Amino acid sequence: MNDDSLIARYRYGAQYVGDFQALRSDIAAKTFIPHQVEFQPPPRGRKICWLDCPYCYGGSAHDDGRRLSKSRALEVMAQIAQGGVKKIIFAGYATDPLNCEYIDDLLRATIDSGQIFGFNTKALKLSEAFLGQLSRPDIAPQSYMSISVDAGCNEVYNAVHDVRGNAKLYDRVLQCITRAGAARRANGNLFDLSATYLINGRNHDVAQVQRFIRDFKAAGCNMLRFAFAQPPRGIETADGVVPTADDVRLYGEKLRPVIAAADSAACTTMLVDADSDHDIYDKARTVPCFARFSYPTVGFDGWLYHCSQSSAPNFHGMAIGDLNSDDFWPLLYDYDGERLGDYFSACGLRMNQEGCRCDRKEHVLNARVIASGAFDDLVVK
């Protein structure tokens, strides 16, 4: 049976900050340790992602060709672990973490350090070496793999992800997850295996959803989360790619009973409408931004960024620094702790000018910290 913390995390309810006053003190004293570090492993080749999903928030990302080398990546990982960070999330900004030639080494280093790992991936390919790591008996509790699927058959998968032709990518993903599920069972379910489904105009059919639920429960997932696609940053989307507020209501009314009926002790199924819950529909960002202190992100180019949504070279203007030349902790603590008000103002100004966009997790975190009142004298509400 899934515990409440897993369900909370998948409802954007993760407690990245326990004590807001302590966070403030730790920020001022430069003693905070991020709840997690997000790592965007460098992609192979010049096409930085397997797919060109039309709703991808990284669709406007630039690529200047720079990549974090394997040796430097492992050095940075070691620095992060030695500094006390307990969780590493492998994800992508216009990339997929599994589309990295040394992802197995990064996962090995994470498990060796006793850190929790997380993967947010399309899982189009899983290597034997990677599956071997997933089978280890020393995986830290609360580790997870979350696979973005968004469909219940090949045709819809291709339509949702703008894949031309008849490639059987849904089948391939299902096969990968089945293998990951087997690895999970082999080590006693030490990590959570989830599949996610972003509902939009191309995949809201009830039968499609039911088939997805059936297939991925059978593959060994213990969590299936449904949500609604968000407007991506900096690109126009075709009709149906991002649901309107009315669409969200209609799709929700139709699918909520189907999803609720599938919920079980072995596999939680849930529909999360965070935009309505937190009043963030189509909102660009919530500032001041506390991402740096909770989940700073190593970009595929080796720069350290505030968050996963701003981790590409086009955000160098607001980035924290370059890990190719500087170490993790000196960069992370490189700000004026005695003038935090100015720090937050400068960040907010840069973020407005660079046009970054929060994902739901970031909206919710920033809103919670602001609502705590711990920074009231420093920030303008």
Partner 1 sequence: MSEKLPPPRIAILGARGIGRVHARIFQALGADVCAVLGRDQASAGQAVRDLSDSFGIAAVAFSDLKTLLSQPLDGVSICTPPVHHFEQIIAAFDRGVPVFCEKPLFWNDSWNDNWNEPDWARKLASLQDHSNRRLFVNTSNAFLIAAVSDQLPPAETVTQFAFHFHTQGLYRGRDIAVDLLPHALSMLLGCLGERPLSDVLMQVERYGCQCRFSYGGCNVAFDLRQGPDLDRSLGFVCDDVSFQRVQEGEGMNYKVCLENTVSGERWPSQDPFAAYIAEFLDHCRNGGVDRFDEAALNMRLMAQCLKP
Residue where the block lists tokens 């009314």: 253
Identify each DSSP E strand in the chain by its residue range: 37-39, 87-90, 116-121, 143-148, 191-199, 223-228, 268-271, 297-298, 303-305, 321-322
What 8-state DSSP symbol labels residue 232? P
Q: How far apart are CA 296 and CA 306, in angstroms?
A: 5
Size of residue set near partner 1 by CB under 8 A: 17
- Evaluate whether 32 touches 293 at the Cβ level (below 8 Å): yes
245: contact with partner 1 by CB under 8 A: no
Among 350, 367, 368, 372, binds partner 1 (CB under 8 A): 350
Both tokens assigned to 221: 């997932």
Name the residue nearer to partner 1 (CB basis): 106 or 370: 370
Q: Give the range of 131-139, 247-255, 297-305, 349-357 binding partner 1 by CB under 8 A.
A: 349-357
Q: Binding residue for partner 1 (CB under 8 A) from 33, 131, 235, 346?
A: 346
Tell me if 380 contacts partner 1 by CB under 8 A.
yes
User: Closer CB to partner 1, residue 112 or residue 354?
Assistant: 354
Site residues for partner 1, window 30-69 (CB under 8 A)?
none
87-90 sheet: strands from edge to edge: 268-271, 223-228, 191-199, 143-148, 116-121, 87-90, 37-39, 297-298, 303-305, 321-322
According to the binding rule CB under 8 A, does residue 348 interact with partner 1?
yes
CA dist., res. 342 & res. 174, Å (int): 49
Dig out the tokens for 334 from the structure: 């490189």
Tell me how far, at minimum, the Cβ of 379 lies from partner 1, in Å.
Answer: 8
Residue 334 in the binding site for partner 1 (CB under 8 A): no
**Smallest separation (angstroms) from partner 1 to the CB of 238:** 24
Angstrom CA distances, 362 to 39, 53, 284, 306, 369, stand at: 16, 21, 11, 10, 11
The end-to-end CA distance of the chain, in Å, is 41
| Stretch of 197-205, 254-262, 323-331, 337-345 contacting partner 1, by CB under 8 A | 337-345
Cβ distance to partner 1 smaller for residue 27 or 223: 27
Find, among 30, 60, 36, 38, the residue nearest to 48 by Cα: 60
Comparison of 203 and 310: residue with beta carbon closer to partner 1: 310
* CA nearest to 120, candidates 140, 137, 96: 96
Nearest residue (CB) to partner 1, 130 versus 343: 343
Which of 234, 353, 371, 373 lies at the binding interface for partner 1 (CB under 8 A)? 353
Question: What binding mask, one character per residue, do residues 267-306 give for partner 1 by CB under 8 A, x or -?
Answer: ----------------------------------------
Binding piece for partner 1, criterion CB under 8 A, among 17-25, 131-139, 197-205, 341-349: 341-349
Between 82 and 353, name the residue whose CB sits nearer to partner 1: 353
Q: Within 102-141, which residues bind partner 1 (CB under 8 A)?
A: none
Single residue of 4, 138, 239, 377 touching partner 1 by CB under 8 A? 377
Told to check if 314 binds partner 1 by CB under 8 A, we report: no
Instruction: Give the 3-state secondary structure of residue 198.
Output: strand
Query: Can you tell me which of 206, 339, 371, 373 binds partner 1, judged by CB under 8 A?
Result: 339
DSSP string, 10-41: HTT---S-S-HHHHHHHHHHT----S-EEE-P
Tokens found for residue 108: 């090995």
- Residues whose CB is less than 8 angstroms from the CB of residue 279 and which lie 6 or more positions away in sequence, other chains included: none
Residues making contact with partner 1 (CB under 8 A): 317, 336, 339, 341-343, 345-346, 348-350, 352-353, 377-380
